[in-house]
Amino acid sequence: MLDYIGHKNQVASAEVFTLNGAKGEGMKFVSLRSGNRVEALISLDRCADIARLSFKGDNYGYMSPCGFVSSPYYDKDGCGFLKSFTAGFLTTCGFNNIGGPCDFNGEQLPQHGTIANTPAELLEIKNTDEFVQVKAEINDAVLFGRKLKLVRTITLYKNEPTLKIDDEITNFGSTKEPFCLLYHCNMGYPLLDEDSQIVIPGKIVGSPAEYPAFEYEQALKMEKPDADYVERCFFYDVDSNNNKSRVGIFSKNIGSGVVIEYDKTVLEGFCEWKMMGKHDYVLGLEPGNNPPLMVSGMAEKGVLKFIEPEQTIKTGITLRFVESNEEFNKMW
């Protein structure tokens, strides 16, 4: 192949650029492109999350009406998180909270925690024969409080349509700290519409509200946009094989889909966030170390996780893209 190109970026690349305009002014991104038609936009201002994701030219994530919003506009009071919740394909939630806003141990915690609005330090970019890769570090530390560090490595492979996120979270402080983590993966049009096939192997084990029985029966059935739709959340015990769990979505209309794979030994919980509103049309497939409850509620139920001093927790998700319904169905 090398004889046919002038520069390796002609086929696959990892390039840094800065956004101009509106509330996204000055935001820094890394654009990843692979030779297998996967493209990912990594937001360095937002925890090195995936702001945009596409396969074969089709968009996969949901972008909220907020658009791109840089960290200085972040409002952590109450539900102010929603004012800058770009969503994108991935928003990381944690580490002090993954549910609604609450008071915990005398601290007012915002919705979904603060890590998603914490800028990342770019450590390294690689472009090899096998992959393009970004490595970044996110510091979640305060004086007289928690001292956590996330090192995130995002690898986009060239010889197969696969993107892998490897996270290492370290407590470099001297006290045990609450630890919440949720991979808020947001499916959007055209990957998501009323004809999309959703697979979540396992059973619903709860929800933050009591819905009519038919809502649970129709949890995996997508609908057309409805201006009066009220969001639903369903908590699952997802099946696993050798501690590996998979969930996925396939679009009949664009003829492709994605399977999200993760290690259930760390990410024990899973939430389906179903929002079929007009303009607010999104499906969340969300592995986490707990369902997205308020941290105060987790503590009351005795399910809150902790990270010990000098402990490092390794986790992450893998995205496997498929090009046919047959290929998708073979994943289960």
The DSSP annotation for 87-99 comes to EESEEEEEES-SS
Can you tell me the mean pLDDT for 29-55?
A: 97
Least confident of 28-32, 236-240, 300-304: 300-304
What does the mean pLDDT of the chain come to?
A: 96
Alpha helices in 74-233 (DSSP H): 213-217
What are the pLDDT digits (tens) for 200-253?
Answer: 999 999 999 989 999 999 999 999 999 999 999 999 999 999 999 999 999 999
Q: What pLDDT was estimated at residue 95?
A: 97
Q: What pLDDT was estimated at residue 316?
A: 98
* Helices H / strands E in the chain, number of each: 3, 25
Can you tell me the mean pLDDT for 94-123?
A: 94
Provide CB contacts within 8 A for 302, sequence distance 6+.
none
Q: pLDDT > 90: what percent of the chain?
A: 90
| pLDDT at residue 3 is higher than 90 | no
What is the pTM for the complete model shown?
Answer: 0.97
* Cα separation, 91 vs 284, whole angstroms: 10
Whether the CB-CB separation of 83 and 8 falls below 8 Å is answered with no
Q: DSSP letter at 10?
A: G
The domain made up of 2-329 has a fold known as: Beta-galactosidase; Chain A, domain 5 (2.70.98)
Computed over its alpha carbons, how large is the radius of gyration of the chain? 19
| pLDDT at residue 52 is higher than 80 | yes
| Angle at 278 (CA atoms; ends 284, 52), nearest 5 degrees | 45
Q: What pLDDT was estimated at residue 79?
A: 80
**Closest C-alpha to 40, from 271, 317, 325:** 317
